[in-house]
Amino acid sequence: MLIADVGGTHIRFAMAVGGRPENIKEYTCSTFRGIVPAAEYYFADIGHRTDRALFAVAGPVNQQIVTLTNLAWTIDCKAVAKALALQSVALTNDFSAIALSLPHLSNSDWRTIRSSPSSGISGSSLAVIGPGTGLGVSGLIPDGMGGWQMIAGEGGHVTLAARTEVERDVIQKIDTVFDHVSAERLLSGTGLSLIYGALSGLEGDGLLANAATPERVGSMARSGNDPTAIKATRIFAEMLGTVASDLVLTIGAWSGLFLAGGMVQHLGPAFDEAAFYERFTAKGRFSNALRDVPCRVITAKQPGLIGLAATA
């Protein structure tokens, strides 16, 4: 089976063989006009085809035709199947695919954020959240029969709440540009640029026109030479900690929280894990409960494909 993890920036293809992804290839989405030419390129790249496909897409999946949230692609399962001569094409959410990978990951596929991790509460839910081009959110709930039920939602679009005066000021400035300041609006690559721009005094259209790229902000933060970039990445980590603990409390993910998404990997040492964890556990009467939740960063290169292959 052909499997693909379609993000806002990159598309990753593989063949699902024996529950594992093989022949993994990654391409830039902007190189192609849609999923069909991308898949044809992949088939030519590996030298063979298949008759079924399962795609994970960055957007809500509730029908056989989906338009991606952060990419100008529309995927029509029937049209794609006909164009690629496939018997079937199915869709799932991209972060649901990452959630489905969690039972198949081992200790070598993640690193723990704190030095003395709890093992969590066995048999509880698992949560995954990840800032990248957007903000992906999903989780797994035990099905009572030794398996898991995946949660497919759009938690990245919840309204972002401020916890400090600085965060309130940043959100107010962003609110002059957009009609809704969601978690994804700031906890994403573009979001890091907006935070940096707001801290730099930019407002209104200037936030969009003059803010530094997320790559630039990350680079300046890692160099240690730009106090505003360092502050922006710390606020980014703190806000992510708030939203992550909201997710854990909402679905009862006492067995663990997993961080995914390209931004955590991109920031590297500039991602302030201490700030993230301090905010993650700052939940009043539930602070102690959250300290017992393992927090891990997924280091496996293609968790989405791992989840898709296991499902296929």
- φ, ψ for residue 16 (rounded to 5)? -85, 115
Q: Please indicate, yes or no, if residue 105 is contained in any of the structural domains.
A: no
Q: Identify the band that residue 261 occupies on the pLDDT scale cut at 50, 70 and 90.
A: confident
pLDDT of residue 110: 94
Q: Which residue range is the domain that position 62 belongs to?
A: 2-99+303-311
| CATH number of the domain residue 138 falls in | 3.40.367.20
Q: Tokens standing for 87?
A: 């018997």
Is 112 inside a domain boundary?
A: no
215 and 307 fall within a common domain: no
In terms of domains, do 81 and 223 share one? Answer: no
Say if CB 25 and CB 14 are below 8 A apart: yes
Question: In whole numbers, what is the pLDDT of the chain averaged over residues?
Answer: 92
Would residue 108 count as lying in a domain? no
115 to each of 111, 273, 294, how far by Cα in Å?
10, 11, 10
pLDDT of residue 117: 56
- pLDDT on residue 148: 92
Q: Are residues 74 and 125 in the same domain?
A: no
Q: What is the bridge-based pairing of β-strands 126-131 and 135-142?
A: antiparallel
Residue 26 phi/psi, 5-degree rounding, is -120, 135
Res 184 pLDDT > 60: yes
CATH number, domain with residue 35: 3.30.420.40
**Is residue 113 in some structural domain?**
no
139 shares its domain with 68: no
Per residue in 99-153, pLDDT (tens digit) is: 999 999 999 999 999 754 566 777 899 999 999 989 999 999 999 888 899 988 8
Question: For the chain, what is the domain count?
Answer: 2
Same domain, 156 and 64: no
Q: Are residues 258 and 179 in the same domain?
A: yes
Integer CA distances (angstroms), 128 to 121, 135, 136, in order: 16, 11, 8
Q: Is residue 153 part of a domain?
A: yes
The predicted pLDDT at position 141 comes to 96
Mean pLDDT of 267-281: 95
The pLDDT assigned to 158 comes to 96
The rounded distance, in Å, linking the Cα atoms of 270 and 268 is 5
Identify whether the C-beta of residue 270 lies closer than 8 Å to the C-beta of residue 233: yes
Contacts of 276 (CB under 8 A, 6+ apart): 113, 237, 238, 240, 241, 244, 295
What is the percent of the chain where pLDDT is above 90? 78
Q: What is the pLDDT of residue 115?
A: 53
Residue 43 burial (10 A CB sphere; 0-12, 13-18, 19+) = middle
151 located within any domain: yes
CB atoms within 10 A of CB 254: 22
Instruction: Give the whole-number percent of the chain exceeding pLDDT 70.
Output: 98
Instruction: Tell whether 167 and 307 lie within a shared domain.
Output: no
75 shares its domain with 168: no
Q: Looking at the domain assignment, is residue 234 inside a domain? A: yes
Give yes or no: residues 132 and 275 share one domain: yes
CB-CB contact of 188 with 132 (8 Å) = yes
The per-residue pLDDT for range 29-77, each reduced to its tens digit, is: 999 999 999 999 999 999 999 999 999 987 778 778 888 877 888 999 9
* Cβ-contact 11, 29 below 8 angstroms: yes
Confidence of residue 278 (pLDDT cuts 50, 70, 90): very high
Q: Both 153 and 64 in a single domain?
A: no
Tokens representing 14 are: 């593989």
What are the start-end ranges of the E strands in the chain? Answer: 2-6, 10-17, 20-28, 52-57, 65-67, 74-76, 88-93, 110-112, 126-131, 135-142, 148-152, 256-259, 295-298
Determine, yes or no, domain membership for 217: yes
Say whether both 281 and 173 belong to one domain.
yes
Q: What mean pLDDT comes out for the span 176-198?
A: 95
Q: Is the pLDDT of residue 97 over 80?
A: yes
Q: What is the pLDDT of residue 118?
A: 63
Contact (CB, 8 A) for 273 and 237: yes
Q: Are residues 45 and 175 in the same domain?
A: no
